[in-house]
Structure 1
Amino acid sequence: MKTKQENIFSSKTLSYFLQLAETMSYTQAAQILGITQSALTQQIKKLERTVGAPLFYSVGKKLHLSDAGYTMLDATHQIYETLNQAADEIQQSTSATQGDISIGILASIEDQVFIQFAVQYYLKNPEVKLIFHMLTRKEIWERLENNTIDLAIMYLPDDSIKNWKPYESRKILTEDLLFVHHEPQWSKKKRIRLRDTLEKKWVTYPPKYYLNSLIRESYKNALLDKPVSVAHFATPSQLFDFANITKTATALPISYVVAHRNEVQQKFWTALFEPEISFDLAFVFRRDKDQIPRIENIMNAFEKYLSEKDYISRLTEISQKG
């Protein structure tokens, strides 16, 4: 017979509680978990009976955490943090040249340099299996928190994360965002004022994507309306293709433009924004994750890889090879 503690701390029950606490919607949480809403409700009620207090309450149709719910949420995060730290400590005694390394890459990032590096790394370390996942920003943070990816490659700073204490980052490079357009009168401009770009219709990243948020914040800081977007796409290639066919404007990281220089120059003109819109491309990982030998090894190998030829130079080389 299970004890009260076993009922409280079953992995399934806690994962159900965490998902509901994140979405604040029984319907949405049940869909994400792949269970019925009644099954989720039953598990939450079971947890509430075990702790002896309601964890959620409703005001109209809106769900809220109770004081007991906040206490349970904090305790649950601490439990998972302890387990993740234990797993990392155990792995610190493992081999540097064997095992799996799971890497989450933000889907809107130009990934050719990382794929080229992965090929070279495999040839030197054939017993290390690299597993790449193309993810949204939300998926990256969820998987970092759950310790299901070892490293993330993403854009920073990220104001959506309020507690950076469990994480560390290493900058790869600082990127600029380029205005990509079809206007002959601007063809020789190296920089274009934010105000002037509002004359054109845009195609942009989806509203909750990092670069979309960065663009909107830049225009807001300049006391300007945000650009009018006629469509949203998740990847630079999709934005490029749509903008090319529809003759709309867009904004792309300089890394994408460099990697596809020939194609871009044939179909568009580009210019820096004035003022500049810039951000960092960086590795993000759980604190002390780089103490695991195979993680330390791959990060040192990537640093050496860029010291031999920098990131933009490698993209230029890839572009020239076609």
Structure 2
Amino acid sequence: MKTNTDAVLSAKSLRYFLQLIDSMSYTQAAQILGITQPALTQQIKKLERAVGSPLFGQMGKKLYLTNAGLKMEETAKALFSTVNNAVDSIQQYTKSDTGAISLGILSTVEARVIDQFLIEFNQKYPDITLHVGFYNRTELWDKLDNNQLDLAVLYLPDHNATVKNMKQYMAKQIYSESVVFLTHDPEDKFDKMTHHRWVTYPKDYYLPQIVHRFYAGQFVDGKLSTPVTFTSPYQLIKFAEQTDYDTYVSKSFYKAHQAEIALSPVDIKDETNFESCFIYRKNKSEIPRLANFLKEWDKFIDERDYDSRLKNVKVSI
């Protein structure tokens, strides 16, 4: 027997069928649906002809579901659930004010301004779920490459990036950075400091690689003496302050915490310029909520620039 699948999958017939199950009364179901009782009966009979079996039985005045009816109920609910989930997923993908955004931030980036933006963004778009994590550089590029992040905050240029195809990414500048060298004696010159002992980030971190790229020729034997390393700028500062070691941090970190840092910055003729950026796949910019996220960032910075926001960060080391 050939099944009339058009009738079986008619959204109207299935909706009427499920409403009749809820009411177990043709009269009540028809009233709720806003149709006549004969019209409802016609739709149910259409389904029964399609499956070749009665869906409802009757004992006295009471309706009950047959075995075929129970199976059709299960199928109808599963179909509507699938359709509803698909519509919900599509809406979340296409709307600018719903869905989820995953953001990864380099653990050594001064993120207080970004934190403030995320708070304001969440208040404006409470239906967008934000997933934020802090990672090292290798982890971030790997997560971007495997599409596990929508956006990442990283330093550029990154000559040691492990990403397979850099051409597939776009970058949006956050802040123009440089390295700030810190010492105990405000009269110290950089050429004298290169003979000191240093506490720095591990050598595979971005800032040590930038410092080596720009200043290796001025170091004794081409490198700084770094018997101690930390992965956190807070620990670098605290350790340096309580020893005779020198250190360095990003310009943004120094500006945000300058009032709490007892060390003195050293003037450098040639600054090491690099940028903190939002990094994302090119196709991500076509997703409305991500495009909106970046647009809201522009508004946020237009209201008050990044430097001003750094100086107003209310934190202590």
Pairwise TM-score range, normalised by the shorter structure: 0.5 to 0.7
For residues 17-53 of structure 1, the C-alpha deviation after alignment (integer angstroms, 9 at most, x for no partner) is xxxxxxxxxxxxxxxxxxxxxxxxxxxxxxxxxxxxx
Partner of residue 288 from structure 1, selected from 283, 289, 295: 283
Task: Provide the rounded CA distance (Å) in 1 between the counterparts of 2:225 and 2:292.
Answer: 45
Larger Rg: 2
Look up the equivalent residue of 1:269 and give its one-letter code: S
Q: How has the CA–CA distance of structure 1 residues 236 and 254 changed in structure 2, closer, same or farther, with 3 Å as cutoff?
A: same
| Contact 1:201/1:229 (8 A) holds in 2 | yes
Structure-2-length-normalised TM-score: 0.67
Tell which deviates more after alignment, 218-227 or 174-183.
218-227
Q: How has the CA–CA distance of structure 1 residues 231 and 180 changed in structure 2, closer, same or farther, with 3 Å as cutoff?
A: same
Summarize the alignment of residues 217-228 of structure 1 with structure 2, pairs less than 5 Å apart.
Answer: 217-220=213-216, 225-228=222-225
Task: Provide the rounded CA distance (Å) in 1 between the counterparts of 2:310 and 2:93.
Answer: 36
Match in the other structure for 2:127: 127
Look up the equivalent residue of 1:115 and give its one-letter code: D
Match in the other structure for 1:243: 240
Look up the equivalent residue of 1:185 and give its one-letter code: E
In the alignment, structure 1 residue 105 sits paired with structure 2 residue 105: yes
Q: How has the CA–CA distance of structure 1 residues 222 and 168 changed in structure 2, closer, same or farther, with 3 Å as cutoff?
A: farther
| Contact 2:92/2:99 (8 A) holds in 1 | no
For residues 184-233 of structure 1, the C-alpha deviation after alignment (integer angstroms, 9 at most, x for no partner) is 433xxxxx44x332121111111111111111111235586221112111
Match in the other structure for 1:262: 259
1:94 offset after TM fit, Å?
A: 1.9
Identify unmatched segments of 5+ residues in structure 2: 1-89
Match in the other structure for 1:205: 201
Look up the equivalent residue of 2:311 and give its one-letter code: T
Task: Provide the rounded CA distance (Å) in 2 between the counterparts of 1:236 and 1:213.
Answer: 16
Structure-1-length-normalised TM-score: 0.66
1:248 offset after TM fit, Å?
A: 0.9
Identify unmatched segments of 5+ residues in structure 1: 1-89, 187-191
1:261 offset after TM fit, Å?
A: 1.7
Report how many aligned residue pairs link the two structures: 225
List structure 1 runs of 4+ shifted beyond 3 angstroms. 90-93, 221-224, 319-322
Look up the equivalent residue of 1:278 and give its one-letter code: N
Secondary structure of the structure 2 residue equivalent to 1:274: coil
1:171 offset after TM fit, Å?
A: 1.0
Look up the equivalent residue of 1:103 and give its one-letter code: L
Task: Provide the rounded CA distance (Å) in 1 between the counterparts of 2:91 and 2:207.
Answer: 35
In the alignment, structure 1 residue 216 sits paired with structure 2 residue 212: yes
Q: How has the CA–CA distance of structure 1 residues 141 and 321 changed in structure 2, closer, same or farther, with 3 Å as cutoff?
A: closer
Look up the equivalent residue of 2:304 and give its one-letter code: K
